[in-house]
Amino acid sequence: MTRFQWIRIGYWLLALVALLATWSQNLHYFANGGAGAAFILDLKVNPAARSISVDIGLFFLAAAVFMVSEARRLGVRFVWLYILGGLLIAISVTFPLFLAAREMKSGAAGASAKWTLFDIAAFAALAALVIGLGGFILAS
């Protein structure tokens, strides 16, 4: 196997572990009476929860910028589905999946990233969501 194949396998394994780790907790939370709105409220239950929530939100935003830039540069398709999956599933699952897809495309020489108007508008919306959620979580 080549180095790139090992890296892809590592990313896929990381995504699988992240899926099992995050969703085992999510299912436990929901099985014990948690609901969608309560989940968001519980993200601000104490300073530690707020810190981690804001940290993950800001990482998510940085990862999304990287993902779109690399997707446009290398021709990785459906980048916004990885980002949407990050919101609905977990960024710790979809970011490694994106990185695996990126590795598959990295062999081809890519031009510099060319963002579309959609990319810019979607980033503005994502940034507003992350900042709004972060502000909500930090507000005590």
**Spans in the chain with pLDDT lower than 70:** 3, 107-113, 138, 140
> Whole-model pTM?
0.82
pLDDT score at 133: 78
pLDDT score at 140: 55
Angle, helix 3-31 to helix 91-105, in steps of 10 degrees: 160
pLDDT score at 17: 92
pLDDT score at 126: 87
Q: Name the nearest CA neighbour of 61 among 136, 123, 132, 10.
A: 123
pLDDT score at 78: 96
pLDDT score at 110: 47
98 class by beta-carbon count within 10 Å (0-12 exposed, 13-18 middle, 19+ buried): buried
pLDDT score at 122: 92
pLDDT score at 11: 93
